[in-house]
Structure 1
Amino acid sequence: MSGKVTLEKLCTGVPGLDVLLGGGLTEFSFTLIAGAPGSGKTTLAHQIMFSLATPERRALFFTVLGEPPLKMLRYQQQFSFFDMDKVGSAIRYVNLADDLRAGDFSGVLERIMREVEDFAPSLVFVDSFRSVVQTARSGNEGLWDLQHFVQELGSRMATWQATTFLIGEYTQADVEANPIITVADGMIALSHNLDEDSVVRKIRIIKMRGQAHMSGAHTLRITDDGIRVYPRQLTPGSGAYRTVATSARPVPTGVAGLDDMLHGGLPQGHTMLVSGPTGIGKTILGTRFLQAGAAQGEKGVAVFFEKHTARLHNAALIELVQDGQVTVLESLSLSLTVEELLDQLTEAIERTGATRVVIDSLSEIGLYLAPEFRYDLRLAVFRTLSLLSRRGVTALVTVGFEDNAPNWRFSIDNLCFLADAVLSMRFAEVEGHVCKFMTVIKVRGTGHSNELREYRITDAGIEVSPHVTNLDALMTGYPTRREPHK
């Protein structure tokens, strides 16, 4: 045999799954889809089938369940991928329940082959194969018959040049001791994990012969459109990244005094972490940042946790949203995963061409994340900021932090080390009044002022004093009271 055989790849039609598979399913392969009841096996199989099936590439779906195919179809046709016009012409359903009751593997195999010869499919599905396996639990002889059956089925389907899927309710322990896994070219495992009151479905590619695939467990969601997979990777999506110049141009923040402290503005592609207690003006600064972008024709994305648009009472932001200048992302789910957040953010940036992003705030994101992600908030923030940086997006990210100790910390979980720039906003009591102050802690790659400036929140936004504030006691981190001037 001379020359290298090229394996053709089939796109599954399941968003995110082809990324895990390394480009798609290998044509003429023999794949096992395994998982617990309710994990999404049948839905995954149907979504792949309806995506691939055409009059030229027909699909044969065998059911060995106690329920008739009609009952299964009643639920599957609720998904948007379901196309009734394909049923009959491109997709045929066959019930093997009667053949299975005889308990004779050779009889079931012959029935499958008769249907294959009659319909000449390119895709073959058997659901649920667990029912066939259970008939083999009568000793070594039955197990040998089962292994022979699987091998025969795999070899015959390869001869017919059909891509075959076996769907079964298997646990990891079942698979390791089962002869099916040794015969199968690939295995996709689905599960749903319970953590506290949160349930998150996961998908893993256990094996996939002849191609590099992503390892690990990845989140999946079942929606009205079917299954969507969220690969765990640093930067999701296949869109091209914007190139950021070595000397990035300064991006106006919308607050003149702050731009002065930043020596012209925040460098393009940088992420600024805005740290401060509640009521200090972080959300207002974020709104001014988006307004400044809109004034220059730039689109923006605002990601809110807790502060839903209807409750913001922020006329400026609402006007930006209504004019299409800003897209707002909000979540009502209390089991949000990092992958879903990154996917939504990527989609909004690519769809709108946004160059500015505001995330408000990291303090509340833990309330929405599934428990397994709350324990590593720093990693979640790192992946989010990496996404923005690689796309050349300039971002402002807020974090609530009560600075009441003399140690000059600026964020929870040391998040300030992940940002390109850090702005500290704080209160102090001065001459019987509570005043607001800001200072730029760092800006990577460029100079900045280290002055402490007082500022006020007015109807026009944020007004920063042009003069440095000389409050020595503020350096201790504690509020201070000055004696009245005599």
Structure 2
Amino acid sequence: MMDDRQGLELERVPSGIAGLDTVLKGGFLKGGVYIIQGVPGAGKTILANQMCFNHVADGGRAAYVTLLAESHSRMLQHLRPMRFFDETVIPDRLYYISAFNTLEDDGLKGLRDLLQREIRKHRASLLILDGLVAAEETATSDREFKKFVHEVQMYAAMNECTVLLLTSGSPGPVRAEHTMVDGLIDLDDRVYEVRTERSLQVRKFRGSGSLRGRHPFRITGDGLVVYPRIEAQFAVPSRPEQPVGARITTGVEALDRIIGGGTFAGTTTVLMGPTGIGKTTIGLHFLSQSSAAEPGLHFGFYETPARLRFKAATLGMDLEGLEAQGALEMIWQAQGENVLDELAHTMLDAIRRRGVRRLFVDGLDGFMESSVHPERMSRFFSTLSNELRGLGVTAVFTWETRDLIGSPIEAPVYGVSSLVENMIVLRYVEVEARTRRLLTIAKLRDSGFDPALQEFRITDKGIEIIGPFNGYEGMLKGYAHSPDNPGSPGTLSPKRPSR
């Protein structure tokens, strides 16, 4: 028997705007009336026009009505460079009309009649009214303005025409018209110290759920691109978490032995250590094992793909050959004013596109530096890790610690040790005025491992683990000394003869 609710579900009108339909869980509702409000320059006009062009490209018809706004010729001149712009649909399927004179001469009643006439005349399934604030200022009373909004809503529902009302303003007290319409969406452009970030929030969406909270977006050559907040979109992973798979090689044979035969497939490992210690080199070893069966992805912030290919080649790894075979992709994100959720979506899209199984992110601090809300990072990284597990990805992240020698090592994000399965700590130690490299397994979930401090070096073949570093104390403080001479870090006393 068919569920009665299926027949009651309202039809969606997709915006066609990347990410926005995800936030709206499918798009606007047919015949609904929505207020889009935001500060000047937030992107309201681009959003509305982008939706119009997408709507007509999908077979619909649209009318764009302006009040106190820029001229149509200037508006179209600004839109022309956008890739969604298609002049051939104007004025047949997308019609622009100014209603300001009608509003001045005949008030809200005249504007209401014009909107009804334009919907009938152009058989519009989407109508934009740009400049709702002018209509509000023309109203002789709050009652008259609420009546106008109510009549627009009734006519939109009767004609199954979705209506967007654009108005200036910033988030603030709830107004009467907010309670009448089917939805309210805020666009904002905020300053965070010396940088700005645009964001979108669905404050109301009658008849459907939506992703809560603020979601960053950019205005690009494609128009608006919305990046749904990772914690909201993947609060429940898109796929159920897969059972932990068999062990897979790290690409360093001696490291595989130390951790019991390799890392478990579908787990997340964090490599922590100071600059130059060898974190990227271990990651390149890991990626060098990519194949058609286990496609790899390098997602980095520091070294360009060209530098990494050269670096790998000097260590005997043919990353360029793996790329040519389609077994490996390298994505570099220059450190600028990146958007945290944009980075995550770029990475996840690449993983889905190629079915990536080996992921190396160099480094986690690149995500940290992109966040305008650092307090998000624990939840963000937890949600992202869960999504990677659901996608069956074995991930390796790097995190650069601050000081080279002698400082205590702290987790990059509060609580990160409980979010990842494996943690490997790399550090320098000073012995007899020389630096040595050490590796230790801080955590390896569901597996035994060798707890000894391991000395390693970087050779022309990459990482070489020499073996346990015995005979010294204070190594975790960065200055190794003999037990016989604890007061002189960095120097060794002759062994005392045994008795």
| TM-score normalized by the length of structure 2 | 0.87
Q: Alpha-carbon deviation of 1:199?
A: 0.9
Relative to structure 1, the CA distance from residue 58 to residue 240 in structure 2 (aligned partners, 3 Å threshold; closer, same or farther) is: same
Mapping 1:49-448, distance limit 5 Å: 49-53=52-56, 57-102=60-105, 104-136=107-139, 141-173=140-172, 176-177=174-175, 179-234=176-231, 236=233, 241=239, 244-246=242-244, 248-294=245-291, 297-312=293-308, 313-316=310-313, 319=320, 322-323=323-324, 324-332=326-334, 334-367=336-369, 369-370=370-371, 372-401=372-401, 402=403, 404=405, 409=410, 411=412, 413=414, 415-448=416-449
Q: Alpha-carbon deviation of 1:353?
A: 1.7
How far does the alpha carbon of each residue in 1:289-341 deviate from its partner, in whole angstroms, 9 at most, with x for none?
Answer: 100224x7522111212323344441437625752433222223633232111
Q: Distance in 1 between matches of 2:57 and 2:342?
A: 31
Match of 1:40 in 2: 43
Q: Distance in 2 between matches of 1:68 and 1:146?
A: 25
Alpha-carbon contact 2:36-2:165 (below 8 Å) kept: yes
Q: Alpha-carbon deviation of 1:250?
A: 0.9
Whichever residue aligns with residue 383 of structure 2, its letter is: R
Relative to structure 1, the CA distance from residue 289 to residue 154 in structure 2 (aligned partners, 3 Å threshold; closer, same or farther) is: same
Match of 2:477 in 1: 477
Q: Which consecutive unaligned segments of at least 5 residues does structure 1 have?
A: none
Relative to structure 1, the CA distance from residue 258 to residue 57 in structure 2 (aligned partners, 3 Å threshold; closer, same or farther) is: same
Q: Distance in 2 between matches of 1:414 and 1:239?
A: 20
Q: Alpha-carbon deviation of 1:242?
A: 7.6
Task: Single out whichever of 375-384 and 356-365 deviates more from structure 2.
Answer: 375-384
| TM-score normalized by the length of structure 1 | 0.89
SS of residue in 2 equivalent to 1:182: helix
Q: Distance in 2 between matches of 1:411 and 1:54?
A: 47
Alpha-carbon contact 1:80-1:224 (below 8 Å) kept: yes
Q: Distance in 1 between matches of 2:382 and 2:233?
A: 14
Q: Distance in 1 between matches of 2:389 and 2:171?
A: 39
Q: Distance in 1 between matches of 2:208 and 2:366?
A: 41
Q: Alpha-carbon deviation of 1:85?
A: 2.4
SS of residue in 1 equivalent to 2:88: helix
Q: Distance in 2 between matches of 1:453 and 1:114?
A: 80
Q: Alpha-carbon deviation of 1:384?
A: 3.2
SS of residue in 2 equivalent to 1:234: helix
Q: Distance in 2 between matches of 1:413 and 1:404?
A: 22
Q: Distance in 1 between matches of 2:463 and 2:476?
A: 25
Query: Equivalent of 1:27, from 27, 30, 34?
Result: 30
SS of residue in 2 equivalent to 1:273: strand
Task: Single out whichever of 214-223 and 299-308 deviates more from structure 2.
Answer: 299-308
- Between the aligned residues of both structures, percent identity stands at 28
Q: Distance in 1 between matches of 2:213 and 2:247?
A: 40
How far does the alpha carbon of each residue in 1:194-213 deviate from its partner, in whole angstroms, 9 at most, with x for none?
Answer: 11111111111111111122
Relative to structure 1, the CA distance from residue 386 to residue 262 in structure 2 (aligned partners, 3 Å threshold; closer, same or farther) is: same
SS of residue in 2 equivalent to 1:245: coil
SS of residue in 2 equivalent to 1:293: coil
Aligned length: 474
Q: Alpha-carbon deviation of 1:157?
A: 2.3
Match of 1:12 in 2: 15
Relative to structure 1, the CA distance from residue 411 to residue 339 in structure 2 (aligned partners, 3 Å threshold; closer, same or farther) is: closer
Q: Distance in 1 between matches of 2:47 and 2:247?
A: 47
Supply the RMSD in Å over aligned alpha carbons.
Answer: 2.7
SS of residue in 1 equivalent to 2:266: coil
Q: Alpha-carbon deviation of 1:348?
A: 0.9
Relative to structure 1, the CA distance from residue 336 to residue 171 in structure 2 (aligned partners, 3 Å threshold; closer, same or farther) is: same
Q: Alpha-carbon deviation of 1:109?
A: 1.8
Relative to structure 1, the CA distance from residue 6 to residue 360 in structure 2 (aligned partners, 3 Å threshold; closer, same or farther) is: closer
Task: Single out whichever of 145-154 and 188-197 deviates more from structure 2.
Answer: 145-154
Alpha-carbon contact 1:428-1:474 (below 8 Å) kept: no
Whichever residue aligns with residue 326 of structure 1, its letter is: L
Relative to structure 1, the CA distance from residue 167 to residue 319 in structure 2 (aligned partners, 3 Å threshold; closer, same or farther) is: same
Whichever residue aligns with residue 483 of structure 1, its letter is: L
Alpha-carbon contact 1:200-1:335 (below 8 Å) kept: no
Q: Alpha-carbon deviation of 1:235?
A: 7.7
Alpha-carbon contact 2:131-2:165 (below 8 Å) kept: yes
Q: Alpha-carbon deviation of 1:171?
A: 2.5
How far does the alpha carbon of each residue in 1:131-166 deviate from its partner, in whole angstroms, 9 at most, with x for none?
Answer: 211223xxxx43332222222222122222211111
Task: Flag as ranges the 4+ runs of structure 1 deviating above 4 A.
Answer: 235-240, 310-313, 403-414
Match of 2:484 in 1: none
Relative to structure 1, the CA distance from residue 193 to residue 251 in structure 2 (aligned partners, 3 Å threshold; closer, same or farther) is: same
Alpha-carbon contact 1:277-1:426 (below 8 Å) kept: yes
Q: Distance in 2 between matches of 1:71 and 1:287?
A: 51
Whichever residue aligns with residue 156 of structure 2, its letter is: M
SS of residue in 2 equivalent to 1:104: helix
SS of residue in 2 equivalent to 1:227: strand
Q: Distance in 2 between matches of 1:355 and 1:45?
A: 39
Alpha-carbon contact 2:230-2:344 (below 8 Å) kept: no
Alpha-carbon contact 2:238-2:387 (below 8 Å) kept: no
Q: Distance in 2 between matches of 1:476 and 1:459?
A: 27
Q: Distance in 2 between matches of 1:365 and 1:151?
A: 46
Alpha-carbon contact 1:103-1:135 (below 8 Å) kept: no
Alpha-carbon contact 1:189-1:206 (below 8 Å) kept: yes
Whichever residue aligns with residue 216 of structure 2, its letter is: T
Relative to structure 1, the CA distance from residue 485 to residue 194 in structure 2 (aligned partners, 3 Å threshold; closer, same or farther) is: same
